[in-house]
Structure 1
Amino acid sequence: MTGVAIIDYGMGNLRSMAKALEHVGAQSIVVTADAETVAHAERVVFPGQGAVRDCMSALQRNELIDVLGQTAAERPFLGVCMGMQALMSVSEENEGVRALDFLPGSVRHFRHLTAAHPGLKIPHMGWNSLCRMREHPLWEGIEVGAWFYFVHSYYVAPADEHLVLAQAEYGATFAAAIGRDNIFATQFHPEKSQQAGLRLLENFIRWDGYVQNRY
């Protein structure tokens, strides 16, 4: 059985994620677009960057949508950047795109947050500290207020505030990490976030998918 399946749908620096997971001790890492391989993985990482329309098209083309739904319901699942945004119901990118709808909410352009701050550039790119909203096993050993690396023009607006695990600020606060049950997703790139990011990935490969006080 594959230890960690990294979803390859042609978008994102998959090698960086694989190398980071290898660095923190992950075993049997496979970068794959094969649905059967993903279905038998112990845990799944859904990374990515680019446009949500291209992401959804690639997932459909590789017949990955059903298996992503299965794994996101059953085992430790980590979404990163586009892999976080695609989990939502809908994105306003590309004039509106239906996403996976694994978690309720929408993806919105940063202009909604930065309109009152014309000096802020879009995309939001660089380091931001996090304000944790809820405790989670993946925060273990990470300093409160730790800094993580972001590159994005859109942000997630969950329909349920209890999904928000951490916030960051750029013009206004936005969801930097969300999760429910065995799903944990980040807008930031842990594989590019030095020691704090590596510790989060290490926590992920040790995580059994259980969260106290699940809802």
Structure 2
Amino acid sequence: MEIAVIDYKGGNVQSVLFALERLGVQATLTSDEEVIRRADKILFPGEGEAASAMSELRAQGLDQLLPTLTQPFLGICLGMQLLGTHSEENDTDLLNILPFEVKRFPADAQHKVPHMGWNTLQRLRSPLFEGLQAEDYVYFVHSYYAPVGEYTIAEAEYPAPFSAAVQHRNFYAVQFHTEKSGPVGTRILENFLKL
């Protein structure tokens, strides 16, 4: 099985590669169109800021390539947000693969921004979560979120419900860091590789 991890200087790439290695999977870090199209599975990790990420994706032509892919695709953290239409983060137009606008969390006395740390998954509805249960914990670090919608396949709350995971056709994505979420994150990566 050929696994491509999209290289767009989007952060947290090494930890994703290490997580795959622990599963016995060798992945190729690449921005090469031919390698990406040939891959059986695609991972799209990201950390950082939406406008800079989109600028790099456009510079490499990946903004045109990624929406055309048909193999199973998994966005992680910023890689999930970039699949939407628009982000409040620096008023950024995104890849327009899923019909959501990325919003900033409102801060209050009990809920600091960024939302950082362990939180539970709720309302799981996808083969991506096979073998897992609602109330399983995963690790989040983010200031922006996708609202709950018809594309939502898992939710979390901070303080209101938001999309912890989304899906449209072959495009799956999670807001949390699978590679930092212990056995739950490992199981999600395993389930993705079986899709």
Q: TM-score range by the shorter chain?
A: over 0.9
Aligned to 1:110: 105
Aligned to 1:122: 113
User: Which runs of structure 1 show a deviation greater than 6 angstroms over 4 or more consecutive aligned residues?
Assistant: none
Aligned to 2:24: 25
In structure 2, C-alpha distance between the alignment counterparts of 1:42 and 1:33, rounded to whole Å: 15
Aligned to 1:49: 47
Aligned to 2:136: 146
In structure 2, C-alpha distance between the alignment counterparts of 1:7 and 1:98, rounded to whole Å: 19
Aligned to 1:155: 145
Q: Secondary structure at the match of 2:4?
A: strand
In structure 1, C-alpha distance between the alignment counterparts of 2:53 and 2:102, rounded to whole Å: 14
Which residues of structure 2 form unaligned runs of 5+? none
Task: Kindly report which structure 2 residues correspond to 1:1-215, keeping only aligned pairs within 5 A, or say none.
Answer: 3-26=2-25, 28-71=26-69, 74-94=70-90, 96-111=91-106, 114=107, 117-134=108-125, 136-157=126-147, 161-207=149-195
Amino acid at match of 2:27: I
With structure 2 as the length reference, what TM-score do the two structures score? 0.95
With structure 1 as the length reference, what TM-score do the two structures score? 0.86
RMSD: 1.4
Q: How many Å apart are 1:143 and its aligned residue?
A: 2.9
TM-superposition CA deviations, 1:72-91 (whole Å, max 9, x none): xx110000111100000011
Which residues of structure 1 form unaligned runs of 5+? 208-215
Q: How many residues align?
A: 195
Amino acid at match of 2:87: S
Q: Secondary structure at the match of 1:149?
A: strand
| Equivalent residues of 1:133, 1:164 under 8 A apart | no
